[in-house]
Amino acid sequence: MKTHEQFADDLALFALDELTGSDRQELETHLETCAACRRELQTLRGDLGLLGLTTSGPQPPARSKERLVRAISAEPRGVSLPEASPEPRRNMWWAWVPAFAAVALLFVVTNLWRSNGRMKDQLAELGNRNQDQTVQLDRMNQELRLLTSPDAVHVSLNPQKAPKQPSGTAIFSPSQKRMMFMASNLAPVPEGKAYELWIIPTQGAPIAVGVFKPDDHGNAVMMDHKMPEGVEAKAFAITVEKEEGSDKPTSPIVIMGAGE
* Other Cβ atoms closer than 10 A to 100: 11
φ/ψ (deg, to 5) at 220 = -155, 150
Reported as a single tens digit per residue, the pLDDT across 100-128 is 667 677 767 777 888 788 888 888 888 88
List, for residues 26-85, the tens digit of each pLDDT value: 888 888 888 888 888 888 777 666 665 554 444 555 555 566 566 556 555 544 444 544
Say if residues 156 and 167 touch (Cβ distance below 8 Å).
yes
Can you give the pLDDT at residue 237? 93
> Between 73 and 242, whose confidence is greater?
242
pLDDT at residue 26 in the model: 86
Contact 2, 26 (CB under 8 A): yes
**Confidence class for position 89, pLDDT limits 50, 70, 90:** very low
> Is pLDDT above 60 for 251?
yes
Structure confidence at residue 73 (pLDDT) = 63
SS3 at position 140: helix
Q: Is 6 left (phi over 0), alpha (psi -120 to 50) or beta?
A: alpha
Does the pLDDT at position 132 exceed 80? yes
Percent of the chain with pLDDT over 70: 72
Output the pLDDT for position 225.
Answer: 76
Q: What percent of the chain has pLDDT over 90?
A: 16
Residues near 93 by beta carbon (within 8 Å), at least 6 away in sequence: 49
pLDDT at residue 236 greater than cutoff 70? yes
Q: What is the DSSP string of 232-253?
A: -EEEEEEEEEETT--SS--S-E
Mean pLDDT of 3-32: 80
**Structure confidence at residue 158 (pLDDT):** 63
Per the CB < 8 A criterion, the answer to whether 167 and 255 are in contact is yes
Provide the whole-model pTM.
Answer: 0.41
Q: Which domains does the chain have, with CATH numbers?
A: 4-77 (1.10.10), 153-258 (2.60.40)
Look over the chain and give the mean of its residue pLDDT values, rounded to a whole number: 77
What residue type is 19 in one-letter code?
A: L
Q: What is the pLDDT of residues 47-59, one digit of tens each?
A: 666 665 554 444 5
